[in-house]
Amino acid sequence: MEITAVVISVVVVTYHNLAEMGVCLDALAASLQPFESQLFIIDNASNDGTPQWLRSSHTHLKTRFDEVHLLFNPVNAGFTAAVNQGLRQCSGDLILLLNPDVIVQADTLTTLADALHAQPEAGVVAPQLRYPGGAIQPSCRRFPRKRDVLWEVSGLALLGARLHRSDWKMSDFDHRHSRFVDQPQGAFLLMRRQVLQRVGLLDDSYFMFFSDVDWCERVHVAGWKIWFCARTFVYHHKGASVTRRKPGMLVTSHRSFADYFASRDRTALEKLGTKIVKFILIMALWPRLLLTRQTCDRVSGPSQAGSANLGTGQSTVGLGTLKIRV
C-alpha cells in the first residue's frame, strides 16, 4: 500500500496526564513517521501541570509533527465534548482517537492503515491492547443489552465465562486473532474520514463513558464494519485519569450506562426496563463506592472526589463529599 501521501489526524484529550504525555507523544511521533500528521491536543482544565508542560513543549512538538494544535479548556466540559473539539478540526485521510495513557509501537499505524486498505468494508480499526507488563488486555465487547446488567450484577457472568458463553464482555474471545467486532475500547480508534463525515461526532451528552459505544453502534447502523487487528498492539495504562478520581468516575460510568439504554427506548415497556436497570445499577454502585472510599482513606485520607449524581430522583444521599441522587 502506498502510504506516503496519507495524512493522519490525531486527537488526544488530556486531564491530569502529565506523567503519561511525554512517552505517549514520543511513541506516537515514531509511529507517524511514514505519514503526514496533524496533532490536536485538548486539555480539559488539568491542574497537575499538563497545560504548562504542553505550552513549554509546543516548539519541540512542532519538530516532531507536521501540524500541532493545542487547545486549553478553562473548565472540564467532559471527555466527549473535548474529543469533538478536535474532530471538528481534523482534515486527515485517517483520524485517530488516542488516549494519553497509550504507547503505540513503531509499526502500529502502518499496520492498521494496511488493514483498512485490505478491508474496504471496515470503516474503523483498533489494535490489540496490552497491559504495561505485556499481558493482553481484553478490549472488545458486544453491544450491551439490558439483561447483561442483571447477568453481571448477579454474578452469572462469571459462570458464563467459564462456559465460554457469548456474553457482552466477550469472555469467549481471547483477543489473539483478528476479526470484526461490535466495539473496541475507545482508547485507540483509527477511522476513515468518510466514516466521520457520514456518522458524525460523538454524542457529548455522555460526559465520558459510553460515548464510544454509542458511536460504534452508529458506525454499524451506517453500514460500516469495525476491524480488530491482532497483528499489532499498543500498551495501555488503563484508566490513568479515571483511577485518580475513581468515586466520581464510578458514578459517571453507571449513569452513562443507564443513559445509553434510555436513548434507545421507544416503547413504554422499554422505558420500564431501563428504570429497572437504573435501579439495579444504583444498588450495584454502593458496594463499589464504599470499597473505593475505604481504599482512598487508607492510601491518602478522606476522599475529595467532589459531587456527582445519577439524576434518577430528588432525594440526595451522601458518601463523604460524594453525593448521589437516588
Q: Do both 220 and 84 map to the same domain? A: yes
Q: Match 478553562 to its residue by C-alpha cell.
A: 74
Q: Where are the alpha helices (DSSP H) in 141-267?
A: 146-154, 156-162, 193-199, 211-221, 246-262
77 and 17 in one domain?
Answer: yes
Higher pLDDT, 319 or 219: 219
Give how many domains the chain has, as a whole number.
2
How many other CB atoms sit within 10 Å of the CB of residue 143?
15
Query: Which segment, 111-115, 239-243, 269-273, is predicted with the most confidence on average?
Result: 111-115
Query: What is the average per-residue pLDDT within 183-212?
Result: 93
Strand, coil or helix: 110: helix
Q: Span 206-224, mean pLDDT?
A: 92
Which has more confidence, 248 or 26?
26
Q: Which residues have CB under 8 Å from 228's CB, separation 6+?
A: 125, 126, 128, 139, 140, 175, 178, 179, 180, 181, 184
C-alpha cell at 150: 442483571
Residues 6 or more apart in contact with residue 63 via CB below 8 angstroms = none
pLDDT computed for residue 215 by the predictor:
97
Any domain includes 149: no
In a domain? residue 166: no
Q: Which of 15-29, 102-116, 198-212, 243-257 has the lowest mean pLDDT?
A: 243-257
- The reply to whether 267 and 231 lie within a common domain is no
280 — pLDDT class (breaks 50, 70, 90): confident
Least confident of 102-106, 184-188, 278-282, 311-315: 311-315
* pLDDT at position 310: 34
- The reply to whether 191 and 109 lie within a common domain is yes
Question: Within a domain: residue 264?
Answer: yes
For the chain, what percent of residues have pLDDT higher than 90?
Answer: 60
Q: Is the pLDDT of residue 95 over 90?
A: yes
- Classify 98 as helix, strand or coil: strand
E strand segments, the chain? 7-14, 36-44, 67-73, 94-98, 102-104, 122-130, 136-137, 140-141, 179-181, 183-184, 188-192, 225-236, 316-319, 322-325
Residue 64's SS3 state is helix
C-beta separation of 287 from 278 below 8 A: no
Residue 198 clears pLDDT 50, i.e. is over it = yes
State the SS3 of 16-35: CCHHHHHHHHHHHHHHCCCC
- 201 and 99, same structural domain? yes
DSSP at 243: G
Q: Quick one: which H or E segment has residue 80?
A: helix 79-87
Name the least confident of 135-144, 145-154, 263-272, 297-306. 297-306
The reply to whether 312 falls in a domain is yes
Asked whether residue 156 is domain-assigned, the answer is no
Q: What is the pLDDT of residues 127-159, one digit of tens each?
A: 999 999 999 999 999 998 877 777 776 655 555
Domain co-membership, 64 together with 213: yes
pTM score over 0.85: no
Mean pLDDT over 152-177 rounds to 70
Specify the pairing of strand 140-141 against strand 183-184. Answer: antiparallel
Is there a single domain that holds both residue 215 and residue 76?
A: yes
**Statement to judge: residues 216 and 251 lie in one domain:** no
CATH at 98: 3.90.550.10
Whether 93 and 210 map to the same domain: the answer is yes
pLDDT band, very low/low/confident/very high, at 313 (cuts 50, 70, 90): very low
Q: Is residue 151 one of the residues assigned to a domain?
A: no
Q: Which residue among 197, 219, 236 closes a domain?
A: 236
The pLDDT value recorded for residue 158 is 53
The whole-number pLDDT of residue 258 equals: 75
The verdict on 252 and 132 lying in the same domain is no
Does residue 230 register a pLDDT over 80? yes
Give the list of residues 6+ apart from residue 240 with CB closer than 8 angstroms, or none: 17, 19, 20, 99, 100, 101
Containing structural domain, residue 317? 244-325
Residues 195, 270 within the same domain:
no
Same domain for 121 and 248?
no
The domain boundary, picked from 204, 219, 236, lies at 236
For 289-309, what is the mean pLDDT?
47
Least Cα distance to 89 among 124, 38, 125, 43 occurs for: 38
Residue 2 inside a domain? The answer is no
Q: Give the side-chain half-sphere CA count within 13 A for 60.
A: 9
Rounded to 5 degrees, φ, ψ at 292 are -65, -40
Confidence at residue 305, expressed as pLDDT on a 0 to 100 scale: 37
Of the residues 192, 209, 236, the one at which a domain ends: 236
Q: Is residue 169 in a domain?
A: no
Predicted confidence (pLDDT) at residue 223 exceeds the cutoff of 70: yes
| pLDDT band with cut points at 50, 70 and 90 for residue 272 | confident
Residue 166, pLDDT score: 62
